[in-house]
Chains A and B, each alone.
Chain A
């Protein structure tokens, strides 16, 4: 089955700087990689996703890159703002029905 590792577990950046979170996966058949943001006490919500037929996807200040050969994908947040502070989870499919989530990264944006 799929195994997803996520690093770092915590990340502090100055407001305006960039943040990068990386995940590795084990199943070469995986073809869909979402990123979720979870604010304190709230539910995870999808912020961006990428499918294996593309190498990069951008949505304003957020981008995701995928390296299928190395089996890793990364979340990039540019020009960070205090409201970006949250826990971010990556995920990958395990089989047809299950999502395997990474262990999460707590991002703190320091004003």
Chain B
């Protein structure tokens, strides 16, 4: 089965600082990759998804961006963090919306 590596597990960043979260996938090839954000006690908000190298679809306009430089690598970035960017960021991998999605361990980001 797939394994999703996501780091760091926790991160505290000041407002206005940059962000880079990395996700790598093992055990599969040509996966669809996803970034979700979960505010405290809330649901899963889809931020970006990618169906291939260099292909990024944005779901929510905001100060975040995503890149997929390799087949099994997905990166979430920001040039300047806002307080509202705080949350639990989850990377996920799947083989289409009609199969199981596998989630990484998540990164808990606190912007101060």
Q: Which residues of A contact B (CB under 8 A)?
A: 31-32, 34, 41-46, 49, 51, 89, 91, 93-104, 106
A31, B42: Cα distance in complex, Å: 26
A sample of 29 inter-chain contacts (CB < 8 A) reads: A34-B101, A42-B105, A43-B90, A43-B103, A43-B104, A43-B105, A44-B90, A45-B103, A46-B100, A46-B101, A49-B100, A51-B98, A93-B97, A93-B98, A94-B97, A96-B96, A97-B32, A97-B51, A97-B57, A97-B96, A99-B34, A99-B94, A99-B101, A101-B43, A101-B44, A102-B43, A103-B42, A104-B44, A106-B41
Which chain B residues in 69-112 approach chain A with CB under 8 Å? Answer: 90, 94, 96-101, 103-106, 108
Q: Which of B90, B97, B100, B104 contacts A98 (CB 8 A)?
A: B97
A98 touches B98 (CB 8 A): no
A49, B97: Cα distance in complex, Å: 12
Interface of A is mostly: strand
Q: Which of A45, A49, A91, A97 contacts B49 (CB 8 A)?
A: A97
**Chain B interface residue bracket vs A:** 20 to 34
A31, B101: Cα distance in complex, Å: 15
B46 at the interface (CB under 8 A from A): yes
Chain A residues with CB under 8 A of B57: 97
Q: Which residues of B contact A (CB under 8 A)?
A: 32, 34, 41-44, 46, 49, 51, 57, 59, 90, 94, 96-101, 103-106, 108
Pick the most buried of B32, B43, B46: most chain A CB atoms within 10 A of its CB: B43
B43 touches A98 (CB 8 A): no
A31 touches B43 (CB 8 A): no
